[in-house]
Amino acid sequence: MAKLTFKSEKCKGCGLCVDACPKQVLALDADTINQKGHHPVKAVKEEACIGCAFCATMCPDCIIKVER
């Protein structure tokens, strides 16, 4: 299993990472609003993460760290 870390305060909730994930690990957190006023991304099925870093590759704000 891979480990994902998010700089949630920098997240703009664009969702490009969510779409890029081949395992549907990510979702925007509708229950949270960060200081910028966005719903930040979170891992909803981290156990399914294969550490491919597609999410980080597509993140325009470089908020995702991927470890394996």
What residue ranges bind another protein (CB under 8 A)? 2, 10, 12-16, 19-20, 38, 51, 53-54, 56-62, 64-68
As measured in angstroms, the least distance from the Cβ of 31 to another protein is 19
Number of H helices, E strands in the chain: 2, 4
Q: Which is nearer to another protein, 45 or 65 (CB)?
A: 65
Which DSSP category does 50 fall into? -
As measured in angstroms, the least distance from the Cβ of 9 to another protein is 8
